[in-house]
Chain A
Amino acid sequence: MRTTGIVAAVALTLMAAGAYAQQGGNSKRPNQVPDKGIDDAQAAPGQARKEPGDRVVTQVPSAVTANGVNLAELDETFDEAIVVTINPDGTRTYTEVKGLEAGESVVKAATPPAPAAPVLEEK
């Protein structure tokens, strides 16, 4: 469907259409709540958590077509990547990060599995 001819046709059609159209006992259990475990408790109070994968929005390639349509191409830091950690008790902690590179950082930063003792504060 995406041929050169249609590219031209679409551009013309969109231009003719105008820039845009105006138109008018059920407590939840904490296995559903992300909690990073004992490392959180030991972090300095108030210390900002370093988050990998913050988006660099100023470097997103963008353009404006002749008929006023803005377009931009997103790199993988705009993807939603999901990381899972299996806790020592078998429960899972999920973290979403921006992109696979950030996911890799999270994986590398994850502590190795803890021995049976000491008991972690949060499961």
Chain B
Amino acid sequence: MRRHLLLAAVVLALASPALASSTIVLVNNNAPGVGLNDPTPVAPVGGNPGTTLGQQRLNVFQRAADLWAAELDSPITITVLASMEPLACTATTATLGSAGARFIFSDFGSVSSFYPGAEFPNVWYGSALASRRAGVDILSLIPAAPAGTPPNTDIRARFNSEIGKPGCLTGSFWYYGLDTNAPAGQNNLLVVLLHEIAHGLGFQQFSNISSGAQIAGLGDIYAQHLLDTSIGRTWNQMTDAQRAASAINSRNLVWDGITVGSDLPSVMTRGRPLMRVNPPAGIAGNYDLGTASFGPALNGSGVSGGVVLGLDAANAAGPSTTDGCTALTNAAAVIGKIALLDRGTCGFIVKVKNAQDAGAIAVLIADNVAGSPPAGLGGADPTIVIPSGRITQPVGNLVKANLAGGVNVTMLLDLAKYSAADDAGRPFVYNPNPTIAGSSISHWDTAATPNLLMEPNINTDLTLKVKPPDDLTLSLLRDIGWYADADDDGLADNLDACDASDLRGTIYIDGVNTAIANLMFSNGCTMADEIANAGAAAGNHGQFVSAVSALGNSWKGDIITNQEHAVLVKTAAHSSIGH
């Protein structure tokens, strides 16, 4: 037989019209009267028509689910155990919520040859993705949850119901609109949900980043694409010790997935903030620079100059003579130069303003604690008109050690490099040193410009778009195995000769049900597709009937009976196709 057939039973299981996307169902885990069922009357807001607090919350959860469902193709329903409940908070700090996969699987097969199953052996997948690739709800392999406990779901999402109430981010409420128009000071629930649900869909790794230990000694599909460029290994190829070291090998851990790599140029802008040491040759090179929220932004040409250590009095305002917390005492040396100051004690804007007043053309602030990459400089002062940036403590020490011989640097945006990617165009994964347990590894580097949904911060300029040219989240999900499959027949679009297949269980011709089983071939086309294609190619009705007859002849024997062939030809003849 020249073509491999899918079992008819599977076609029947897929008996739905061609649909791009998937379905994400919320399982409301709140008791009556609270959380997602809170009956408190509210006014509709931001396109959210709900008139009770619970309904508005549910609407936001469902919108987040729908936005993701629209981007991910899967015939298997994705389930989210959802709730809003009191979580930890104070007047100024609060847990907004959490989410993640509840069950993981490895070494699973698939329901048919059209579904790829696990791409790699010995690699964990979250259940939603595993089901998508297996072609069945893989949670079926798990015993049902005991009575009285929440049902098994792919994802768990718990969010804080108390936000904005007294003592819980007092006055800073959730915004329940379905847009990005949250008033200043409010927390956009929809954006936070998009971010957290993405973790549950696979934007997360499962090992312990302190020890490098894995669950049952197996890697995971996210870690499969974490490449440490220092040693040329992915996380799944490393020992535990190597993984732990890689977790803090800042700016040397990249995502090596091909979809992200190809999409990155359309999403991420060029311009990586750097301090470029010119002479002396011994330390010449590029060093990461944290940018400032005040003063002029860096540009491609940058600002160049000799570096001079700024000196000030050691006093109550700042105990060090290099902290720049009071007026610089060596203005004659600083004027026209780039002042180097140490972090500590007073605000960054105080330091930079003092250096500016002394005549500096720019300011470098060296960190006073170990850690990398260098964070930014916070603060606001419209009177500051010189650029500034932050370097790590070791780099600061390196510069200081060479000042006697003269150090000349350029502070610039290197437009040859993407804002948060290596020279090969692979985005940096967030891995600061020291680690930040929940933020490290499962996010993009915070230097990415524009801001990305899956940075560890919920930035106010985020949109609700998750794919290029706005974002790289969907690209990453593609890389881990959420392949595009517009007709949900299991075969990836790039392998599918018919990516909008007619997947009805029986063959219809011009709306007439022939009652003949509609099987799918290995190229992704069903029998109905081939008949439809014949109709599209036919110049007239006679040609269409002849084409159907020819197809039927090619199927006779293994696929259809002589009687079924006759039914096909008769139905085609009675159709209006070609007239």
Contacts and interface: CB of A to CB of B under 8 A. Distances in A.
Contact of A23 (B116, B192, B210, B348): B116
A27 B273 contact: yes
Given A41-B343, A80-B99, A100-B87, A25 B271 contact: yes
Nearest to B136: A10
Given A43-B369, A60-B215, A81-B438, A29 B291 contact: yes
B393 A17 contact: no
**Chief secondary structure at chain B's binding surface:** loop
Contact of B137 (A2, A53, A123): A2
Interface in B193-231: 195-196, 199, 204, 206-210, 213-216, 218
Contacts of A48: 434
Interface residues of B, number: 116
B109 interface: yes
B449 to A, nearest CB: 5
Given A28-B447, A51-B210, A100 B88 contact: yes
A70 B92 contact: no
A10 B127 CA distance: 14
Contacts of B109: 13-21, 67, 69
Contact of B110 (A14, A52, A94): A14
A123 B438 CA distance: 22
A110 B90 contact: yes
B529 interface: no
Interface stretch (B32-40, B65-73, B375-383): B375-383
Interface in A35-94: 35, 40-41, 43-49, 51-58, 60, 62, 65, 67-74, 76, 78-87, 89-94
B439 A19 contact: no
B142 interface: yes
Interface of A: 1-2, 6-7, 10-11, 13-23, 25-35, 40-41, 43-49, 51-58, 60, 62, 65, 67-74, 76, 78-87, 89-100, 102-104, 106-108, 110, 112-113, 119-123
14 contacts: A14-B109, A17-B110, A26-B419, A28-B273, A28-B447, A32-B459, A34-B436, A34-B456, A78-B100, A82-B192, A86-B172, A96-B438, A110-B92, A123-B378
Interface of B: 77, 87-113, 115-121, 124, 134, 136-142, 144, 152, 156, 158, 169, 172, 185, 187, 192, 195-196, 199, 204, 206-210, 213-216, 218, 269-271, 273, 290-293, 297-300, 343-348, 350, 368-370, 375-380, 393, 413, 419, 434-439, 442-443, 446-449, 451, 455-459
